[in-house]
Each structure stands twice: as C-alpha cells, then as structure tokens.
Amino acid sequence: MLAAQRKDLILTTLRDQGRVVAKDLAAELDLSEDTIRRDLRELAAEGHLHRVHGGALPASPAVADFTARTTIGTGAKAEVARTAAALVRPGQTVAIDGGTTARELARALPADLRATVVTHSPTVAVELAVHPTVEVIIVGGRLFKHSVVAAGALAHEAIGRVSVDAFFLGVTGIHPAAGLTTGDADEAAIKRAWTERAAETYVLGSGEKIGAASAFEVVPLAAVTAVLTDAAAPARGVAELRAAGVRVLGVS
Amino acid sequence: MLAAQRKDLILTTLRDQGRVVAKDLAAELDLSEDTIRRDLRELAAEGHLHRVHGGALPASPAVADFTARTTIGTGAKAEVARTAAALVRPGQTVAIDGGTTARELARALPADLRATVVTHSPTVAVELAVHPTVEVIIVGGRLFKHSVVAAGALAHEAIGRVSVDAFFLGVTGIHPAAGLTTGDADEAAIKRAWTERAAETYVLGSGEKIGAASAFEVVPLAAVTAVLTDAAAPARGVAELRAAGVRVLGVS
DNA sequence: CAATAACGTGCAGAAACGTGCAAAAACAAG
DNA sequence: CTTGTTTTTGCACGTTTCTGCACGTTATTG
C-alpha cells in the first residue's frame, strides 16, 4: 500500500466510522504505530482531522452542519429557489444575487450540476463551498452589511467585465406600475449592472414581494425574462403581472 | 474507546437523558468510576456541564449559551485571535486571511473598533457583516473550496492594488527550517501577495501548527513581523522559532 | 448520630506520544 | 544500467497522557 493510499484510507475510515484508533489500524495494515501516528500528525497539520490521544476524530462537527445545510428547504422561498435551480443548465455561467432566497437557490442546485456561479454575496459563496462540482467566482467590493453583499464602485466595475447566461435577481418589491424595486440606491445599481450583463434575468419573487414597492427601481418589469414565485402568491397580484405582459413561473 | 470520544459521549448523554450517573456510566463502559469522575470534573471546569454529587446535569441554558460562545473563545485559536485583535488599531486597514483562526479573529475584534478589514474570505466577510463599525472590503476571485477563500489570478490582481497596515496570515505549517507553509500552491501565492502589500504580517499560528510543515512555502519566517500563538504551544517549537530570530507573541 | 457512598488527591505502571536516527525502498539523473 | 538523492519505515528512547489504586475527606442517608 502506498503512503498516499493509506492517508486516503484513514480519511475514509474517519468518515465511515467516526474515529480512527492508531493501534488498531497499525495492526490491520501490519505497520508500526509510529507510521500511523506520523500519518495522523500530517493529516492533522493539513486540517483534515482532529488528532486525539490514541487516534483521531473528524476534523470538526461540520458533518452535522452539512446535514442541516442540505435539508431540503420548505416555505415560499425554497419553492422559488427550486423553480430557479431547475432553470440552470449544465455548462452555463449564472449570477446569483444576495438574500435569503438566493441562498436557498445556492442550496437547491443539483449536486451533480457542472456550471459556474458568479456572485457578489459571500453568503452564497459560503453555501456553494460545499457543492462538489459547481465552480464559484466571487465578485468583491465594499460589503453592504444590510444585505450582506459586495457593493460600491469596485463591485460595479467587476460586474461590468462579466457576462452570464442568467442572473437570478433578488428584490424587495414587484409591482406592475413601480416595477422591480429595492431599498438601497447603490444596491439597485449593482443589480441593474447584473441585468445588463445577463442574457436572461429571473426575479426571485416569493409571494410577499408581489404588489410591494420599495424606494429605488432596479429595472422595469419589461426588462426581465420572468418572475419566479410560489404557489401561495396572491392571485390578484399574479394576474396583474400577467396582464402587464410579465411571464410568471411557479404558480398556476 | 478514545478518551476524547468518551467526553463527547458524556455530553451527548447529557443532552439526550438530561443527566449522567457516574457509577452507571463507568459500569456501562467497563471503566473505573475514577476515570468518569475525572472526565466530569474536566468538562465541568470547561463549563460544559454542571457537576453534582453522583454525576452531572446539563449546564443551565444561559450558561450553556455563554459556554458555547466561551468554548469557542477559550480554544487555542481563539487565544491567537485575541492576541491578533489586540494588534488592530483604530483607523487602520488590515487584511484577514481565511480559515478558522481568521474567523475567530473577525469575531474577536472589539465591538467599537473603527477600522477597515479587507479579506478574500467570504466566511470572514459574513462574520463581520454583524459588526457595528468595521468597514469590510471583499476581494473577489475564484473560490478555492478547500479553504473557502477567493484565489486565482482575479484575487491576486485585486490584492496587488491594495495596501494594508497589517496582514493576518493563516498557514498550516510553521517550521524553523521550512518556514511558513500551506497545502496549496495557488493559495500560497495569494498569501504571499498579501504579505507584499502589508506593512506588517502576523502569523495566526496556534500551537499545533508549530513544528509542522506543508508542501508550499508562503514566505520564510524572516519575512513576517511575528508569530501569534497560544499558551499551550509546544515549548521546544517556540524556543526554536525564537532561536531563529522570530518574534513569538501569546506565549511566555 | 453512625454507616455508607462519593469525592478529590497523589502515586505508579502502562500505553501512547514525538524526536532523532539509520536502513531500506523509491526516485531521478546521467 | 549505476549512482546519488529523497522518501519511507521501524527502532530506540525520553516525555507525556491515561488509568486504576489507596486513602483521607466530604456528602448523603437511615
């Protein structure tokens, strides 16, 4: 057995059994405990496991966190997110906005999806850090703490150099007359910049946002490909959007 | 059963059953009561449980919450983080690397600190989103999932346009001969770029990293201002660093 | 109150630890 | 192919951690 294989075995054993006992493994592999201890020490130094007396434990309780994280979300936002995730094609480059629905979208992406996600949301980036196949590009800038997204001229400039197949836009208001709105002017400009760089723009619009309007327009409704909402969205609001020529997905 | 596992079992039993009876647990695990009592004493000393005659009860909710926060706050990495946080002066611009110690540093910054933090770690950015006064600049780039940091040419270029008063550098190895090392070459280059843009560089080096060495050198030890470590750092490792002319803070 | 159970401390033996070293195996260059 | 270099492995050994024992002290119970 090669030394590298042995390290893989250690990590696999850790994952499967939740622990490694140095003495047992040495006997099993017919090696000295010294060798196993050396392996454990090195793997611990690289952050792959937690070295304890007599063996090793998993690196962190992050396994439990991973499980919680991958629990399928319920509620309106998760519904919207699923509708959105189904629109992402393998091989595409898509941009994801910030916010809780956007975060749900990051979670809802299929585990085998091979695509590139560009985002100015560190929260979305952290969510996608555990995705096995999606490539993630972070757009930097000044952190707008209210929404936990990068904003300002730095972000705006960086977005201007990106082109994406689709942009998943988060807003706070979806109104037939007022259009798509949000509460901060700088954030509105960032979102607008994304729509200008995207072939298609889908609004993440759970029902509570329909009929609402905030202070700053992002883009008019005519500028987007569709509004993605949920089954419980208000029928009148949906009807009004459709009457205005807007494509609404996620509700009959 | 490993000793560390047994402590986990005790805490799990406490959560599930609301109590631990020392005599019963000793019988169940075929160990002496002395051993169980020692475990309970140690866990109580760390605030994880309430020691009572005959066994243990859960720490009270308020204490448990405080302890959970304090437990994070009392580990080696939190110690290092506190030493680091104390070095940040109001009005400064500092860069924070990625990793768990870096995240602790973000948490350890004083609540009234007025400074600017630049980081290529979305995790650090998310932590600082709740800080009332610190300005945060995110450096974008391709997400290196293993360490959850932005990397690649985009990040490297962005860092080249930033100057900071101090860079708090995370590594996996601190060795008198091998220098400061990490496990990925691209990440090593990003870290190096930061050291070149920083007036001072402080290494976040909890004790387990001292004496260890990973594959890729970031910078030699002579290139940094100081290594910040914790009280439990190995004395020999610390002595060797000091003998090599390295300033080591956080341990006598 | 006395008897019993549980406690914490100090101690010794066993197990595990990490370091330095040398030999063997693997690798790379000529 | 040979030779020099690097990596891997086990050994020896001093250090550290873990565990049970003994025992005096403290708490609980009838």
**Interface contact A65, partner B, CB < 8 A:** no
* Low-confidence residues of chain A: pLDDT under 50: 61-72
Q: How far is B139 from chain A (nearest CA, A)?
A: 5
Pick the CATH number of B3-71 from 1.10.10.10, 1.10.10.200, 3.40.640.10, 2.30.30.100: 1.10.10.10
The answer to whether residue B92 scores a pLDDT higher than 50 is: yes
Query: What confidence score (pLDDT) does residue A74 get?
Result: 58
* Cα-based angle B55, B56, B58 (whole degrees, multiple of 5): 165
pLDDT, tens digit, for every residue of A210-250?
888 888 899 999 999 999 998 878 888 888 888 888 899 98
Query: What confidence score (pLDDT) does residue A250 get?
Result: 86
Query: What confidence score (pLDDT) does residue B249 get?
Result: 87
Query: What confidence score (pLDDT) does residue B66 get?
Result: 38
**Interface contact B150, partner A, CB < 8 A:** yes
User: Stated in angstroms, how far is B222 CA from D3 C1'?
Assistant: 37
- Interval B64-74 mean pLDDT: 40
Could you tell me the residue ranges of all domains in chain B?
A: 3-71, 75-249
Nearest CB neighbour to B2, from listed A21, A126, A158: A21
Minimal Cα distance from A123: which residue of B? B126
Q: Which residues pair with A198 in a beta bridge?
A: A164
The answer to whether residue B69 scores a pLDDT higher than 50 is: no
Query: What confidence score (pLDDT) does residue A2 get?
Result: 79
A3-60 is classed CATH 3.40.1260.10? no
Q: What is the architecture of the domain spanning A68-249?
A: 3-Layer(aba) Sandwich (3.40)
Contact state of A135 with B142 under an 8 Å Cβ cutoff: yes
Nearest CB neighbour to B173, from listed A45, A122, A148: A45
Q: Minimum mean pLDDT among B25-34, B142-151, B207-216: which range?
A: B207-216
Q: How far apart are CA B173 and CA A191, in angstroms?
A: 41
Query: What confidence score (pLDDT) does residue B3 get?
Result: 87
Query: What confidence score (pLDDT) does residue A60 get?
Result: 55
pLDDT, tens digit, for every residue of B153-169?
999 999 999 999 999 99
Please give, chain by chain, protein residues whose CB is below 7 Å from any atom of strand C: A 22-23, 33-34, 37-38, 40-41, 51, 53-55; B 22-23, 33-34, 37-38, 40-41, 51-55, 211, 234, 236-237
pLDDT: which is higher, B20 or A64:
B20
pLDDT, tens digit, for every residue of B209-250?
777 777 788 999 889 999 998 877 777 778 878 888 888 888
* Cα-based angle A181, A182, A187 (whole degrees, multiple of 5): 125
Query: What confidence score (pLDDT) does residue A45 get?
Result: 74
The answer to whether residue B114 scores a pLDDT higher than 90 is: no
Q: Do domains B3-71 and B75-249 have the same CATH topology?
A: no
Q: How far apart are CA B229 and CA A189, in angstroms?
A: 44
CB atoms closer than 10 angstroms to residue B100: 19
First vs last Cα of chain A: how many Å apart? 59
Query: What confidence score (pLDDT) does residue A131 get?
Result: 84
Instruction: Please give the class, per CATH, of domain B75-249.
Output: alpha beta
